[in-house]
Each structure stands twice: as structure tokens, then as C-alpha cells.
Amino acid sequence: MQNTHIRYKIVELSLLLEMVTSIFLRMLLNISDDKTSISFGRKSEALSFNNKVNLLMDLDIIDKDDYNSLKQFMFIRNQFIHNMDVKDFEGAFDENPKLKNQFNKHLGIEVGNNSDTEVYKAIKKSLNPIIEKIQKIIKVKNLMNY
């Protein structure tokens, strides 16, 4: 994966996480149509990804480790989305070396000493259990509705 693709891969993963989170919360709140929902719609007044993650934590759907993983990912995501100067993971932490150390410890991989591809794989690996947990709950809720 070239550095030019890292931004795309981070955005793609972010969209997947937000979609799964939104579907779950809509099901829980019995909101069937995301196109007409204010909170889960596609307009600027909809809940932010951060708000949705906070709801997952408040509802005990995710634990503190999952929450921290998602918060770290949101930091990376925001760097790639809002900062054109960020070209790689090393650059994403230029302004926050303390967070870089926490990130390295959490993932068990050193940003800067590993390729962006390896860092991305470690991020995805840390988030996959969260995605799978939410998808499993969605499937169970769908089965219960039949």
C-alpha cells in the first residue's frame, strides 16, 4: 500500500465503523429509516461518530479497551481527514508524541519503525473485534424480530 492510499484506507475503515455503529444504534432505538432520521441521517445535524461511540460506551456495548481503541482511531482518522500535510502515520503524530507512545503501546507496533501498511494492518486488527461484536448483536436482533 503506497502512502497515497493510506488516507483512502483510513477513510474507508472509518466509514465501515460508522455504518455498523449507526445500524446498531438505529435498531436499538427502533429508527428504521436513516434517510429521514435527524440523529442518524446524512446531514450535518446527525450525530457525529464520536457521539455514536460515546453512546456505545454508555450502553455497555463496548468496554473501556474498545472505547480507547476507537478514540485512538478517531484521532488518526481526523489527522488524515482534516490535515492535508499528513501523508503517513508518522506525520499524524507530529503534533502529539505522547499519543504516539500510547498508540504504539496499544497496538504493539512502532509507528515510524514499521511501514504504513503494517501500522494499518495493526489498526484494522485492533478494530475488527469491535466491528464483529456489533455485527453479531445486529444479527441476533434481526433473528429475534422474526
The whole-number pLDDT of residue 4 equals 64
Confidence of residue 43 (pLDDT cuts 50, 70, 90): confident
**How do residues 106-131 score in pLDDT, each as one tens digit?**
888 888 888 888 889 989 999 999 99
Neighbouring CB atoms inside 10 A of 38's CB total 10
> Which of 25-29, 34-38, 124-128, 141-145 has the weakest average pLDDT?
141-145
The answer to whether 88 and 113 have CB atoms below 8 angstroms apart is no
Query: pLDDT band for position 100 (50/70/90)?
Result: confident
77 to each of 11, 84, 87, 92, 124, how far by Cα in Å?
Answer: 7, 12, 12, 9, 12
| Mean pLDDT within 44-66 | 93
Sign of the alpha-carbon dihedral angle for 52, 57, 61, 65: positive
